[in-house]
Amino acid sequence: MIAKFFPWYSEITRPQKNALFSAWLGYVFDGFDFMLIFYIMYLIKADLGLTDMEGAFLATAAFIGRPFGGALFGLLADKFGRKPLMMWSIVAYSVGTGLSGLASGVIMLTLSRFIVGMGMAGEYACASTYAVESWPKHLKSKASAFLVSGFGIGNIIAAYFMPAFAEAYG
């Protein structure tokens, strides 16, 4: 069915499709996790008694962690392989997300969001190269375009689930 609309799709092998899909799922979860904190920041600020400035700093903690995670996971991926480090980067931001949910104060929450940022940037560095390098040269731009769509889809999913989070934790 897909090949009817996208003839080039039949050129892609199952391992190439799997590489792209697994990397894309990582991007979806990145987008979900990254945006959810912005959607529920008003609840976090009220719960922890944060000022607007403290809330803004908390929201940027993931951005601050990104350069460190991108460099760390990127270097390790060159040594140990992109696929294993892609998986470890997803574990890293999942742990950061879990710690965010368990945070009892602003310092722990900020540190956990820093870990989230490190894992996200590691996932970007590893997943994009892992997926795109596996595709034929003339189709790499299609793989890359599909891959980055995952982040936006994750944002949309976070927006959809935001009311449920607000009701459950607000």
Q: Residue 51 — very low, low, confident or very high, per pLDDT cuts 50/70/90?
A: very high
Whose CA is closest to 43, among 109, 87, 93?
109
Domains parsed from the chain with CATH numbers: 20-169 (1.20.1250.20)
Q: What tokens were used for 137?
A: 């040269």
Mean of per-residue pLDDT scores for the chain: 91
Whose CA is closest to 87, among 135, 130, 123, 115?
123
Contact 62, 33 (CB under 8 A): no
Q: What tokens were used for 133?
A: 């390098």
For the entire predicted model, the pTM comes to 0.85
Q: Model confidence over 30-45: pLDDT tens digits?
A: 899 889 888 889 899 9
Tell me what pLDDT residue 170 has: 62
Q: Which range is least confidently modeled, 66-70, 156-160, 162-166? A: 162-166
- Predicted confidence (pLDDT) at residue 1 exceeds the cutoff of 70: no
Alpha-helical segments (H) within the chain: 2-5, 14-39, 41-48, 52-80, 82-102, 106-133, 140-169
Place of tokens 């104060």: 105
Q: Number of C-alpha atoms within 13 angstroms, CB side, residue 130?
A: 30
| Rounded average pLDDT over 56-62 | 92
